[in-house]
């Protein structure tokens, strides 16, 4: 039995250690670069309360809300390169927030849309004749910062604009099954303080950034896919990001960042899976060695009749 245990532990180590090494190498292969911008976009404000006041005072002044940040590419990045926004301190997983939507309304399916689930964002300004469609807190707080980018090439010094596509960034099942092709009504219709987040571009089904926003994040710190760049970037290239800083994270001391990342066959930058396999394989190897030395130092005596007891019959 002890011999079988040793063999099992060594076999596990022989499988898990090489597999973990491969997973770790390809988990580290994707390149990512990010920059926080919520504080730098309003640099002269002493705190987030002042930044929030600045945001509301300039809600109609796009020039005042515009800022820039620069990303220096640390390694070659082959396309497609994905553009994410990252939020910290935003609890999309709050029970009331999660329930505040109508999937029937979003899909224009048959049945009761249960608009009451969206309270208090079921009717615009509380007017029963002005149904908000799509309703609810999730839709109303739609992220509405936007980005344009241009890259300065390190080898030539030339500057070119990067085309950021918003097509093909949402799950196909979401686009086809969950969101319908219809015109929103009374959805963030003005730029007053009553306004929540952004406005849907086109229809809920065609706005894939909106679809990604509606996919609830499990943790308060999360990323959501905003666009995709087909152009390759080289080490040393400088990407200047022009940001329209509209989204109010200042009221809850949230953090906003812009992220560029590419992927490998394993997915994005992720060391967890490879590390988990290596640790499990290493522990298996050590346990195999432990059992092996215990077996050498204190072997079981086979056929030792002293271990038998006489049993009365």
Predicted local confidence at residue 191, as pLDDT:
59
* Shared-domain flag, residues 85 and 207: yes
Predicted local confidence at residue 306, as pLDDT:
64
Q: Answer yes or no: is 218 within a domain.
A: yes
pLDDT tens for each residue of the chain, 313 residues long: 567 877 888 889 899 999 999 888 888 888 899 999 999 999 888 899 999 889 888 888 889 999 999 999 999 998 899 999 999 999 999 999 999 999 999 999 888 888 999 998 899 888 899 999 999 999 999 999 999 999 999 988 899 999 999 999 999 999 999 999 999 999 887 655 545 678 899 999 999 999 999 999 999 999 999 999 999 999 999 999 999 999 999 989 999 999 999 987 777 777 888 899 999 999 999 998 888 888 777 776 666 666 666 656 5
* Shared-domain flag, residues 21 and 37: no
Predicted local confidence at residue 292, as pLDDT:
84
Q: Answer yes or no: is 311 within a domain.
A: no
* Shared-domain flag, residues 239 and 273: no
Q: Answer yes or no: is 130 within a domain.
A: yes
pTM of the model: 0.82
Q: Answer yes or no: is 303 within a domain.
A: no
Per the structure, the complete domain to which residue 3 belongs is given by: 1-30+265-297
* Shared-domain flag, residues 5 and 98: no
- Structurally, the chain folds into a number of domains equal to 2
Is the CA virtual torsion 162, 168, 171, 175 positive or negative? Answer: positive
- The region that residue 194 occupies, defined by phi over 0 for left and psi between -120 and 50 for alpha, beta otherwise, is alpha
* Shared-domain flag, residues 289 and 236: no
Helix (H) or strand (E) segment spanning residue 2: helix 2-28
Predicted local confidence at residue 141, as pLDDT:
92
* Burial (0-12, 13-18, 19+ Cβ within 10 Å), 3: exposed
Q: Answer yes or no: is 307 within a domain.
A: no
Predicted local confidence at residue 43, as pLDDT:
83
32 pairs with which residues across the strands? Answer: 261
Predicted local confidence at residue 57, as pLDDT:
86
């Amino acid at each position: 039995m002890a011999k079988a245990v040793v063999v099992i532990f060594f076999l596990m180590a022989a499988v898990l250690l090489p597999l973990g090494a491969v997973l770790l190498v390809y988990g580290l292969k994707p390149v990512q670069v990010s920059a926080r911008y919520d504080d730098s976009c309003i640099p002269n404000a002493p705190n987030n309360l002042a930044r929030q006041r600045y945001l509301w005072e300039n809600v109609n002044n796009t020039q005042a809300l515009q800022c820039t940040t620069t990303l220096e590419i640390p390694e070659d990045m082959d396309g497609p390169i994905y553009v994410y926004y990252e939020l910290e301190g935003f609890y999309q997983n709050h029970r009331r927030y999660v329930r505040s939507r109508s999937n029937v309304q979003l899909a224009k399916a048959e049945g009761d849309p249960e608009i009451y689930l969206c309270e208090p964002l079921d009717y615009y300004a509380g007017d029963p004749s002005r149904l908000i469609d799509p309703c609810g807190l999730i839709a109303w707080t739609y992220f509405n910062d936007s980005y344009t980018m241009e890259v300065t090439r390190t080898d030539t010094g030339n500057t070119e604009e990067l085309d950021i596509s918003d097509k093909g960034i949402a799950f196909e099942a979401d686009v086809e099954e969950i969101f319908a092709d219809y015109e929103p009504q009374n959805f963030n219709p003005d730029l007053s303080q009553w306004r929540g987040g952004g406005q849907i571009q086109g229809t809920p089904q065609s706005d894939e950034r909106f679809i990604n926003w509606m996919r609830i994040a499990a943790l308060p710190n999360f990323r959501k896919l905003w666009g995709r760049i087909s152009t390759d970037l080289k080490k040393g290239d400088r990407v200047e990001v022009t940001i329209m800083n509209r989204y109010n994270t200042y009221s809850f001391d949230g953090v906003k960042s812009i992220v560029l990342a590419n992927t490998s066959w394993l997915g994005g930058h992720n060391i967890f899976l490879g590390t988990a396999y290596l640790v499990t394989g290493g522990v298996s190897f050590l346990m195999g060695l432990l059992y092996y030395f215990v077996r050498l130092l204190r072997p079981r005596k086979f056929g030792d009749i002293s271990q038998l007891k006489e049993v009365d019959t």
